[in-house]
Structure 1
Amino acid sequence: MAYREQEGGLLDEVIGIYFHTKVTKGGRNLTCAALVAVGDGNGKVGLGYGKASSVPMAIEKATGEGRGAMLEVCRVGDTIAHQELGRHGAARVLLKPASPGTGVKAGGTVRSIMRVAGVNNVLSKVFGNSNPLNVAKATMNALRQMRSREEVQRLRGVKVELRHPQAARPKREQPPEAAKGPAEEPAEQAAE
């Protein structure tokens, strides 16, 4: 579904709408539930699940819950910091960083969360249960487990080398002898 901009510069996207019916002696009671991803498009994202008697009220409740449960996504450029596997129930979601220009290679649920989080290049794969609610929670668990390079260095007490698809790599200069062409034999070996 399309995402919309809220007050305060936040984006929200409805991932799913669910209808529940309870049969009672007096008839049927219909309730609605909504799953909504909320983010600022610049590294913050939250997930909300709201239930109400009507769809707009359920979306509003879910949006409010998502705003209150926002977390910071560790990013390098416009992708995630490192590979991570998130789990919830029987669903497992693998997230991998991607090179610039790759785009969001993901299913609908993961794509919605990445879009509102501002992650533009990422690869993902869902294993096990593909229920949108479980996949969304597994994706959020994967994002919650991410650590920045500085945090890993502090926790381990050692310097960590940055190897990442979007890391700025200095250009290697060619040695002067390699630039000339084939190497000539030294004069001593030629005399023998």
Structure 2
Amino acid sequence: MSSDFKKINKLKKNSRRNSKIQETKFVERLIKISRVSKVTKGGKKLSFRAIVVIGDENGKVGVGVAKADDVVNAFKKAKTDGYKNLIELPLTKSLSIPHHVFGNFGACKVIVRPSIEGSGVIAGGAVRIVLEVAGVKNVIAKQLGADNLLNNARATVCALQNLTTKSEVAEKRDLN
């Protein structure tokens, strides 16, 4: 009976060890923290809203937003929201994107184009942060429309979601 228990224990230990090895290290970058006040009957209630981008710098990225009574809790909540909204994008050998793509969110429009190796990330504001955290190294991006940081970050994620590889396009053509 005790030998069976030891075998089960070993299985548990090994499974835990393997899960730690497979975890990837995520990078968190703060886009903005804003102080928000809500006027109630008793006076003003202050809270903080955090916009955070998380990614593994290898093709995964997510944008999270959350509010809390203090900055630290707002950051933590936004980080967990970012994990829930993770997307995966294809990268080329030169750490660029496969083709040019457009993204819309609200009044914000983002154009993202691949660039030659060594050019770096040519983008501004929230678009730059999202692309850097996603692991894209050579890209040119332009944001049009509104200058809202949250909507620009989400428009960039929408654009990156629309990326496809040659093999995915070939599969779709074979099915039709």
Which one of 53, 59, 63 corresponds to residue 37 of structure 1? Answer: 53
Is 2:144 the partner of 1:127?
yes
Give the C-alpha shift of residue 157 in structure 1.
Answer: 3.2
TM-score relative to the length of structure 1: 0.76
User: 1:19 is matched by which residue type in structure 2?
Assistant: R
Measure the CA separation in 1 of the matches of 2:143 and 2:156: 9
Give the C-alpha shift of residue 30 in structure 1.
Answer: 0.6
Q: Deviations over 1:57-98 (max 9, x none)?
A: 111001111112211111112011110000001100000001
- In structure 2, the partner of 1:152 is 169
TM-score relative to the length of structure 2: 0.83
Measure the CA separation in 1 of the matches of 2:80 and 2:125: 22
Give the C-alpha shift of residue 8 in structure 1.
Answer: 4.8
- In structure 1, the partner of 2:40 is 24
Measure the CA separation in 2 of the matches of 1:63 and 1:8: 15
Which structure shows the bigger proportion of residues in helix conformation? 2
In structure 1, runs of 5+ residues without a counterpart are 1-6, 159-192
User: 2:90 is matched by which residue type in structure 1?
Assistant: C
Greater Rg, structure 1 or structure 2?
1
In structure 2, runs of 5+ residues without a counterpart are 1-22
Which one of 68, 80, 99 corresponds to residue 84 of structure 2? Answer: 68
Measure the CA separation in 1 of the matches of 2:59 and 2:39: 43
Runs of 4+ in 1 over 2 A off after TM superposition: none
How many residue pairs align between the two structures?
A: 152
- In structure 2, the partner of 1:182 is none
Identity of aligned residues (%): 41
Q: Deviations over 1:90-116 (max 9, x none)?
A: 100000001001100001211111111
User: Where do residues 1-192 of structure 1 align in structure 2 (5 Å cutoff)?
Assistant: 8-77=24-93, 78-157=95-174
Measure the CA separation in 1 of the matches of 2:135 and 2:96: 9
Could you say what secondary structure the match of 1:76 adopts? coil
Give the C-alpha shift of residue 156 in structure 1.
Answer: 2.2
